[in-house]
């Protein structure tokens, strides 16, 4: 059955990107470190398995407009690198972009759809597209926070990276108190992958 999952890499001090995010620095200054478990080679078997399973089980993706602008930008996604990083992009899931103003033109193809009536509608459309697979809210922080605030998130998957960023885009900012149930924790050499059920908020 489809689950709605917020799935994101985070520093121990709660940042999902560094300061200074722009089209040149999509993860912000020093933000690559938050994604070492994906980006550093050789990738560990444990990290590869987490990445494979996440990709396999995802039927649709929800993202914010600023994140879309980065992935559609000059240093963004291409035929080789996209959702799930270096997974087979020919079978990558459709992406629903939450935005007030859809772009007139964009570089990446029809796999991207623009939703102008908010996160609830975006998750709803993603759910329809996902079939039996899951909906993954991939970020940025603002969209995940909005989805948590609207009670849309059923599962939280945090990839906790061993660093303190000291600043940047903070996950969970303004989110209300929420009870979680720790369901699975996978430890790799470069991260702790922790999965939680959202119990109540």
Q: Please give the residue ranges that form the binding site for a copy of itself (CB under 8 A).
A: 12-14, 30, 33, 148, 156, 158, 160, 162-167, 171-172, 174-182, 185, 187, 189-192, 194, 196, 201
Report the C-alpha gap between 5 and 13 in whole angstroms.
21
Q: What is the CA radius of gyration of the chain?
A: 16
Least separation in angstroms between residue 48's CB and a copy of itself is 17
β partners of residue 200: 179
Least separation in angstroms between residue 112's CB and a copy of itself is 30
Nearer to a copy of itself (CB atom), residue 65 or residue 190 = 190
Least separation in angstroms between residue 160's CB and a copy of itself is 7
Nearer to a copy of itself (CB atom), residue 12 or residue 81 = 12
Nearer to a copy of itself (CB atom), residue 89 or residue 188 = 188
Nearer to a copy of itself (CB atom), residue 17 or residue 130 = 17
Which residues does 4 contact at the CB level (< 8 Å), separation at least 6? 123, 127, 134, 135, 137, 147, 152, 153, 154, 155
| Site of tokens 């240093």 | 75
Report the C-alpha gap between 31 and 141 in whole angstroms.
13
Which residues does 145 contact at the CB level (< 8 Å), separation at least 6? 171, 172, 173, 174, 175
Least separation in angstroms between residue 58's CB and a copy of itself is 22
Least separation in angstroms between residue 67's CB and a copy of itself is 20
User: Token digits for 1?
Assistant: 């059955």
Least separation in angstroms between residue 162's CB and a copy of itself is 4
Tell me how far apart the terminal alpha carbons of the chain are, to the nearest angstrom. Answer: 22
Nearer to a copy of itself (CB atom), residue 67 or residue 160 = 160
Grouping H, G, I as helix, E, B as strand and the rest as coil, residue 125 is helix
Nearer to a copy of itself (CB atom), residue 12 or residue 23 = 12
In terms of Cβ atoms closer than 10 Å to its own Cβ (0-12, 13-18, 19+), residue 177 is exposed
């Amino acid at each position: 059955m489809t689950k709605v999952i917020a799935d994101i890499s985070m520093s121990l001090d709660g940042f999902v990107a560094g300061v200074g995010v722009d089209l040149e620095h999509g993860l912000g200054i020093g933000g690559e470190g938050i994604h070492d478990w994906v980006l550093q080679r050789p990738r560990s078997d444990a990290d590869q398995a987490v990445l494979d399973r996440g990709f396999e089980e995802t039927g649709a993706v929800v993202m914010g407009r600023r994140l879309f602008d980065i992935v559609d930008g000059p240093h963004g996604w291409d035929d080789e690198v996209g959702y799930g990083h270096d997974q087979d992009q020919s079978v990558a899931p459709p992406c629903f972009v939450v935005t007030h103003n859809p772009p007139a033109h964009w570089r990446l193809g029809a796999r991207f759809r623009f939703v102008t009536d908010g996160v609830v509608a975006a998750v709803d459309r993603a759910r329809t597209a996902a079939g039996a697979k899951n909906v993954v809210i991939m970020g940025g922080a603002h969209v995940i926070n909005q989805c948590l605030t609207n009670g849309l998130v059923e599962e939280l998957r945090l990839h906790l990276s061993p660093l303190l960023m000291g600043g940047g885009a903070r996950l969970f900012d303004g989110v209300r108190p929420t009870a979680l149930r720790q369901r699975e924790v996978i430890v790799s050499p470069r991260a702790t992958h922790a999965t939680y059920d959202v119990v109540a908020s």
